[in-house]
A and B are shown apart, each in its own frame.
Chain A
Amino acid sequence: MSESKPKVATDWLCGCAGCHMSILDIDERILQVVELVELRSTPITDLKEPDIEGVDVGILEGSINNTYNEEVAKRMRERCKILVALGDCAVFGGVPAMRNFIGADAALKRAYIDAESNDSEGKIPSSPELAKMTHVRAVHEVVPVDLHIPGCPPDADVIFYALTELAAGRIPEIKDEKLDWH
């Protein structure tokens, strides 16, 4: 393994994992990506956190909807040189942000008490170990973001293009047919 290969770490916040599925959707080209970069912590590998020594590129999927997501986003920002917001949730807030129109309390009540599938004992989980829900935010509302790749999910070809550009040390240009928020 060459020392000069840029290191990439990814993580997911409040999303559906669809953007990571779309990363895998680059199919056999993932072998080219591994040639070009060193994949460090990602939900696909078994490493949990980006290296303390830092990585070159950090990629985040999902919006930030609780204190734990904040922590993950801040850690990624601290440990990476270029932070990428991947997908509509990370870029805009996405589907989770619909919660902001009604508030967290109403959303919890709907899910844990009023939902048709709940039993009559419906109870909102509360434990000191659980992260605290917050207003749902796009990643750039919490930490500075260097590159936004919108899409729900972003197209595999756009992801492959972005990864190869980043590997080559360039900031990819997301425009024209590569720009699609869905």
Chain B
Amino acid sequence: MITLTIDEKTIEVKEGSTVLEAAEAADIYIPTLCHHPQLTPYGGCRMCMVEIEGARTLQPSCTLPAVDGMVVRTNTEKVLNARKFVLTLIFSERNHFCMYCQVSDGDCELQNRAYDEGMTHWDLQPNWQPYEVDASHPYMVLDNNRCILCRRCVRACSELVGNYTLGFEERGADSLLVADYDVPLGESSCISCGTCVQICPTGAIIDRQSAYQGKETDVDHHVSVCTECSVGCIRDVLTRDNRLVRIEGEWEAPLNNGLLCDQGRFLPLEETRARLLTPMVRKNGSLKAATWDEALQAVAIGLGKGQDLVALASTRLPIEDLSLFKSLFKDKLGADLVTTLEEGAPTAAAAKMADQLGEPFESSLEELKDNDVVLALEIDLVDHHQVPGFFIKRQLLDGTQLFVADSKSNHLAEKATLTLDLKAGEEAQFLESLTAAVEKGSESAALNKLAESLKSARKACIVYGPTFIENADEMALSSLIELSEKLHCALIGVKGNANSMAAAQLELEAPFKPNGHQSAFVLLGDEAPSQKLVKALENIPFVVAQASYGSQVTGNADVILPVTTWAEQSGTYLSLDGRLQNAVKALDAPEGVLSSQDALQRIAESLSLKPDLDWKANLLKRVPTAPIRDIDN
């Protein structure tokens, strides 16, 4: 431990702490601009200058290591004057006229710092050099006129996301934020994760969807798990007057630390499908608006006693809904087939393996953050489940070796140290050969290289995806587990939708093979149906669709029950590595639209059935592939 004095206060901090960290620990406020808790200290803006006893000049506290016996002063006249001068220089560099800026009046860190220092005017006027605004990107506008050259965006793009799209060209006052080798952002290697928008302290990178829609003080926040895939990132859903304004990553979230991908941040605001607002019942061949009572009556008659009934649910729904769905249709109604729209494909084989082992064998996603070797086995983390992909990509410059083995084309291959060929269905042979290579070497140079790297790694991780689980037989999985034990490396199994693993826990994993079914209940929620589903339902005489949006499935259905979207419902989600997290309702549903859970309850009532409501007990009945634990978001 180190003892130092800041503003006459004695503070003890860990060795390696910066003066800024020491001040923060002691609740002493030092203003910053280029600094961000998720980024490596940079010392670019000089806002955080402090006076150090014995030092010739003022020092930036964000990069200055705290030293035993150091005496620091944060609010001397010299410091205050320096802060104002730093702000004056920043304001004079570009167009920082607040009155015509999107983030003015509360959302701009530069303006807020000036207010804090009581600046009523600028001693130096701007140099009036205009820069071109880049509005080529669908989700953001890049405006160098508003840039303060803090490089937070550049550092976030590389340090956090590992994408290296943003950078600077030229030097000093001519420095310009550019994408790749100065191409329009919309045509660059940008993957639209939006971390740069979220981290920009000024209006230099602005979000098109939410620009001028409401300031920080006008919006409501709903910290909630993302329901777009099985990673379970925590995000903040910003709303105003029951309208979605913007989605941001939650900086405080333990796993994603503020990161999101385009699926989680931007796409939910691009919804264009027609909303279903009233129940409908098919009469004389055409769908007619009906009351909930009429629709429920039609459901009760059409579903009959459950024989020849198939019931399918989306794995985007909360566990509460899935558990109720299973209890109602399988346990109470005794339907012939009760499963999910994913039919267990991304989970069934792994879940079965956990049953056999009697214990979980998969690790936490945290294990993916710090490795010297990663093997991606039939998983393209650029295509989907992108945030764990960021964890891998951002390590690569530190020398982490990435091996990709896939039966399909894989975008991670571009970044890989080595790509190994794998034939679909021959996963077991591949893993046996790899095990043999680890034990006694192999004739294949590639396998040898992978085996040697895995063996000599300080820490290694094997991540596999839905394709592997779909293709792999028992043999492949047990070889994989044995190999991971031998190498002491973590195994991470990427699933599919947000509640794929919960569906596996509830044993909702049977394949959907049409079997002369006479009726179908399809709980789509806000999921878009696949063509395969549309086709499979074509030959079923009576179809009930419980859905948020119109689709081919609802168009062909006999009864439509309108239900809430992800934003309008609360519930619990089980991430691919067993974290139980909450989705929080952010919007009120339109009148007449029920949550999927309430709609299922109404169906149960109309059938005089009493389904089991203890979803947690049902969830924990089966041995999970990864240990299940509650995470408080």
Residues of A within 8 A of B (CB): 85, 88, 91-95, 97-98, 100-102, 137-138, 140-141, 145, 147-150, 152, 174-176, 179-182
| Band of interface residues on B | 10 to 19
Map CB proximity to A onto B81-124 as digits: 1 under 8 Å, 0 otherwise. 00000000000000101111000110000010011001111100
Chain A neighbourhood of B105, CB < 8 A: 180, 182
Complex partner residue of A138 from B115, B125, B128, CB under 8 angstroms: B125
Chain B neighbourhood of A93, CB < 8 A: 97, 125
Give the complex CA separation of A97 and B130 in angstroms. 12
Contact A182 B97 (CB under 8 A): no
Contact A150 B97 (CB under 8 A): no
Chain A neighbourhood of B111, CB < 8 A: 181
Chain B neighbourhood of A147, CB < 8 A: 120
Q: Is the interface of B mostly helix, strand, loop or mixed?
A: loop
Residues of B within 8 A of A (CB): 95, 97-100, 104-105, 111, 114-115, 118-122, 125-126, 128, 130
Contact B99 A95 (CB under 8 A): yes
Q: Can you list 28 pairs linking A and B with CB atoms under 8 Å apart?
A: A85-B121, A91-B120, A92-B97, A93-B97, A94-B97, A94-B99, A98-B97, A98-B100, A100-B126, A100-B128, A101-B128, A138-B125, A140-B121, A148-B120, A150-B120, A174-B118, A174-B120, A176-B118, A179-B118, A179-B119, A180-B115, A181-B98, A181-B104, A181-B114, A182-B98, A182-B99, A182-B104, A182-B105
Residue among B98, B100, B105, B120 with the highest chain A CB neighbour number at 10 A: B120
Give the complex CA separation of A101 and B120 in angstroms. 23
Complex partner residue of B95 from A88, A101, A145, A181, CB under 8 angstroms: A101
Chain A neighbourhood of B98, CB < 8 A: 88, 181-182
How distant is A134 from chain B, measured CB to nearest CB, in Å? Answer: 13
Complex partner residue of B125 from A95, A98, A137, CB under 8 angstroms: A137
Complex partner residue of B120 from A100, A137, A179, CB under 8 angstroms: A179
Give the complex CA separation of A149 and B111 in angstroms. 16
Give the complex CA separation of A91 and B123 in angstroms. 10
How distant is A166 from chain B, measured CB to nearest CB, in Å? Answer: 15
Which A-chain residue is minimally distant from B130 (CB atoms)?
A: A101
How distant is B324 from chain A, measured CB to nearest CB, in Å? Answer: 51
Contact B118 A175 (CB under 8 A): yes
How distant is B159 from chain A, measured CB to nearest CB, in Å? Answer: 33
Which B-chain residue is minimally distant from A94 (CB atoms)?
A: B99
Contact A179 B121 (CB under 8 A): no
Give the complex CA separation of A98 and B128 in angstroms. 9
Contact B128 A150 (CB under 8 A): no
How distant is B145 from chain A, measured CB to nearest CB, in Å? Answer: 8
Complex partner residue of A181 from B99, B118, B126, B130, CB under 8 angstroms: B99
Task: Contacts A101-B130, A180-B105 given; indicate if A138 touches B121 (C-beta within 8 A).
Answer: yes
